[in-house]
């Protein structure tokens, strides 16, 4: 566990941002990352619980999810099979979902997070508050290097546009209760018998959740056919360098990527009807 010398619980966002400008001071949300960091020593932690960042609200044509919303809160709010509820539920057991926050999941950019994959195919954007002002960053940019975008600031919310189309999530794991070895999320908007729009995200094949832009471009405007999917995935997978670990070899991950992508796209296509 990280060794902490001081604890702060600010009542305003401005106070929290001021505290975070001090060196070796880190935000405390769900605490999972800090509990697991045995090497780092921090001067202080800044507890975010009193900042009112734990709400889920509608803002016009988008859903605003506060950074302190717990994953289980997403499951409870969208209970009944909704895509975000399914994605959040897949990220871990109940004890984990009751601790981990949406903001924490974004900043740690876990490559196996089904929630992040789901948010990616929904074109989510992230609100970041820093001492030099607020900005909105597309999630697919932020997950590549969260530290670059946050820089002693805070992720305060994620905005999810109300999107058209069908969505699907497919995973492969060692056991039904284990974390995914490979995971794929897809969203398809149909126009007649063609894909008007395709969104695809891959987990477990890169150091962070990955948008499969090349596959999206190859399939958008086309009819959905297995041969087209396989060709597009094979070309995109050539540039990937997935690691081998106890969950599966690099070769296995590449093979499963094609299988899961095909399944996710066809499921999303059927739901889009």
Domain ranges of the chain: 3-46, 56-161, 166-272
Q: Which residues contact 265 (CB under 8 A, 6 or more apart)?
A: 168, 186, 188, 198, 200, 219, 224, 229
The CATH number fitting domain 166-272, selected from 3.40.1010.10, 3.30.390.50, 3.90.226.10, 3.90.1150.10: 3.30.390.50
Question: Mean per-residue pLDDT for 98-124?
Answer: 94
Q: Output b/e per residue, 154-187; b: 16+ Cβ within 10 A.
A: bbbbbbbeebebbbbbbbbbeeeeebbbbbbbbb
Around Cβ 194, how many Cβ atoms within 10 Å?
13
Question: Mean per-residue pLDDT for 128-154?
Answer: 90
**Residue whose entry in the numeric block shows the structure tokens 């908007």:** 189
Residue 35 pLDDT greater than 70, yes or no = no
40 band by pLDDT with thresholds 50, 70 and 90: low
Question: Mean per-residue pLDDT for 65-93?
Answer: 89
For residue 107, what pLDDT is reported?
Answer: 92
Around Cβ 123, how many Cβ atoms within 10 Å?
18
Residue 115 pLDDT greater than 60, yes or no = yes
DSSP 29: S
User: 261, 186 in Cβ contact below 8 A?
Assistant: yes
Q: Which two tokens stand for residue 190?
A: 């149909």
| Assigned CATH topology for domain 56-161 | 3.30.465
Question: Mean per-residue pLDDT for 263-273?
Answer: 94
Residue 17 pLDDT greater than 90, yes or no = no
Residue 173 pLDDT greater than 80, yes or no = yes
Question: Mean per-residue pLDDT for 221-232?
Answer: 93
The bridge status of strand 41-47 relative to strand 3-8 is parallel
For residue 106, what pLDDT is reported?
Answer: 94
For residue 256, what pLDDT is reported?
Answer: 95
For the chain, what percent of residues have pLDDT higher than 70? 93
């Amino acid at each position: 566990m990280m060794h902490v010398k001081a604890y702060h619980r600010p009542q305003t966002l401005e106070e929290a941002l001021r505290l975070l400008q001090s060196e070796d001071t880190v935000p405390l949300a769900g605490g999972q990352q800090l509990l697991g960091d045995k090497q780092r020593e921090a001067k202080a932690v800044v507890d975010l619980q009193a900042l009112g960042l734990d709400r889920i609200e509608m803002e016009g044509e988008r859903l605003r999810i506060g950074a302190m919303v717990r994953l289980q809160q997403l499951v409870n709010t969208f209970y009944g099979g909704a895509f975000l509820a399914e994605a959040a539920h897949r990220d871990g057991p109940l004890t984990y979902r009751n601790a981990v926050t949406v903001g924490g999941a974004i900043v740690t950019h876990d490559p196996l997070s089904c929630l992040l994959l789901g948010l990616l195919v929904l074109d989510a954007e992230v609100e970041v508050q820093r001492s030099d002002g607020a900005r909105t960053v597309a999630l697919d940019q932020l997950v590549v290097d969260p530290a670059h975008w946050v820089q002693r600031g805070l992720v305060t919310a994620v905005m999810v546009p109300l999107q058209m189309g069908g969505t699907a999530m497919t995973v492969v794991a060692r056991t039904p209760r284990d974390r995914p070895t490979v995971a794929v999320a897809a969203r398809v908007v149909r126009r007649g018998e063609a894909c008007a729009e395709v969104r695809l995200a891959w987990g477990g094949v890169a150091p962070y959740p990955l948008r499969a832009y090349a596959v999206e471009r190859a399939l958008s405007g086309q009819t959905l056919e297995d041969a087209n999917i396989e060709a597009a995935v094979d070309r995109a997978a050539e540039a990937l360098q997935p690691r081998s670990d106890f969950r599966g070899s690099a070769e296995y991950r590449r093979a499963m990527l094609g299988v899961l992508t095909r399944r996710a796209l066809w499921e999303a296509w059927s739901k889009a009807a």
